[in-house]
């Protein structure tokens, strides 16, 4: 498998920390110091389908493929307006593709899970060109009356087109059942047969606990994929770590004893965009021509589940 197209689309509204402190007991100083976030994009006039479609079209254009060349569409998403149809089905209609579609929910690791699924289908010879879209609006399941989670998140979408190739060196997926550290519970319709009254819940996050679990998991995953690929930390050109918190990315970098320029970040302008964070960053680095053909990338992500995932791949797109 190799990536041949990448694109992203962000909401138009830029929300600063000062805008949040107008209605929450928080401050620019607290948010920047604890997380590195200065601004984030939040859906207002547009919707998630529009962003996902825009990102998908940009990735297809970059790949030089038409929507009809796509054999399979995977959409990574944590929550959106629809229970059914799947977001991937809607995206298919919008971009005018004709391919089987599936949504996956691997929380923030969804994009790397998407790469793993695409790689398996390509290796099996079942599909050739696969579109992976990561479209997320975590701001829609945060509690906006409390300061603890909503300040951390932003919305956005990114897409990658992958095809037959040998760029993927190794990929590693994990889930361990820490279901209590991070969850969002949607309220479903009551039926006459339920004897308990189910309650919904906006995003609940045990930030301190998650910080430790996520940093340890990422370091373990990084060590694992490096070993699998017979590489050392120095052999990696760019570490694309899930943009959850600047301090978390820094902790991982310091453990690996690598220079800052190998750990690019955009959390300052995007916040945490869940599974869209790595492909949004990848697209940004591609457009800035930071990623050069032949560079080795290590991706590492972690989130609700608790899930974590990592992959090593060679960048094969022309500058």
CB 40 → ligand ACO: shortest distance, Å?
13
| CA–CA distance, 299 with 76 (Å, rounded to integer) | 16
- 222 is a contact residue toward ligand ACO (CB under 6 A): no
- 300 is a contact residue toward ligand ACO (CB under 6 A): no
CB 109 → ligand ACO: shortest distance, Å?
9
108, 142, 150, 270: the catalytic one is 108
Residue owning tokens 């949004």: 280
Window 161-180: residues binding ligand ACO (CB under 6 A): none
Helix (H, G, I), strand (E, B) or coil at 218: helix
- Token couple for 83: 């229970």
Q: Which is nearer to ligand ACO, 97 or 107 (CB)?
A: 107
* 108 flagged as catalytic: yes
- 240 is a contact residue toward ligand ACO (CB under 6 A): no
**Residues contacting ligand ACO: total by CB under 6 A:** 23
Q: Which of 35, 59, 189, 166 is nearest to 111 (CA)?
A: 59
Instruction: Tell me whether strands 72-76 and 130-136 are parallel, antiparallel or unpaired.
Output: parallel
Looking at residue 239, the DSSP 8-state letter turns out to be: E
- 108 is a contact residue toward ligand ACO (CB under 6 A): yes
- Token couple for 64: 């030089």
* 272 flagged as catalytic: yes
| CA–CA distance, 304 with 201 (Å, rounded to integer) | 15
CA distances from 185 to 199, 248, 257, 284 (A): 8, 26, 39, 32
Distant-in-sequence, close-in-space partners of 189: CB < 8 Å, separation ≥ 6: none
Window 269-298: residues binding ligand ACO (CB under 6 A): 272, 274
242, 245, 270, 286: the catalytic one is 242
- Token couple for 147: 């300061």
* 238 flagged as catalytic: no
- 244 is a contact residue toward ligand ACO (CB under 6 A): yes
Looking at residue 186, the DSSP 8-state letter turns out to be: P
- 17 is a contact residue toward ligand ACO (CB under 6 A): no
Q: Which is nearer to ligand ACO, 76 or 244 (CB)?
A: 244
Window 21-40: residues binding ligand ACO (CB under 6 A): 26, 30-31, 34-35
Q: Which is nearer to ligand ACO, 127 or 302 (CB)?
A: 302
| CA–CA distance, 52 with 133 (Å, rounded to integer) | 7
For the annotated catalytic residues, the residue numbers are: 108, 242, 272
Binding site for ligand ACO (CB under 6 A): 26, 30-31, 34-35, 107-108, 147-148, 151, 182, 207-208, 210-211, 214, 244-245, 272, 274, 302-304
């Amino acid at each position: 498998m190799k990536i041949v197209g990448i694109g992203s689309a962000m909401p138009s509204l830029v929300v600063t920390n000062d805008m949040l402190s107008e209605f929450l007991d928080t401050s620019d100083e607290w948010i920047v110091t604890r997380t590195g976030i200065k601004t984030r994009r939040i859906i207002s006039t547009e919707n998630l389908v529009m962003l996902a479609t825009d990102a998908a079209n940009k990735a297809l254009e970059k790949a030089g493929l038409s929507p009809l060349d796509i054999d399979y569409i995977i959409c990574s998403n944590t929550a959106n307006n629809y229970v059914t149809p799947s977001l991937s089905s809607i995206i298919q209609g919008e971009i005018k593709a004709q391919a089987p579609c599936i949504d996956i929910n691997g929380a923030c690791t969804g994009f790397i899970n998407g790469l793993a699924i695409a790689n398996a289908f390509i290796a099996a010879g079942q599909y050739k060109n696969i579109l992976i879209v990561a479209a997320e609006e975590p701001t829609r399941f945060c509690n906006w009356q409390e300061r603890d989670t909503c300040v951390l998140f932003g919305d956005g979408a990114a897409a990658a087109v992958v095809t037959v190739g040998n760029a993927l060196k190794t990929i590693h997926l994990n889930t361990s059942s820490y279901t209590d550290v991070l969850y969002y519970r949607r309220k479903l319709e009551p039926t006459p047969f339920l004897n308990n009254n189910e309650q919904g819940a906006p995003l609940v996050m045990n930030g301190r606990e998650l910080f430790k679990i996520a940093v340890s998991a990422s370091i373990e995953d990084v060590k694992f994929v490096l070993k699998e690929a017979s590489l050392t930390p120095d052999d990696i050109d760019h570490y694309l770590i899930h943009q959850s918190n600047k301090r978390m990315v820094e902790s991982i970098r310091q453990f690996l004893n690598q220079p800052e320029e190998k750990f690019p970040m955009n959390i300052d302008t995007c916040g945490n965009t869940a599974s869209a964070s790595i492909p949004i960053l990848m697209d940004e680095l591609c457009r800035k021509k930071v990623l050069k053909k032949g560079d080795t990338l290590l991706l590492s992500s972690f989130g609700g589940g608790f899930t974590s995932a990592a992959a090593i791949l060679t960048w094969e797109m022309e500058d």
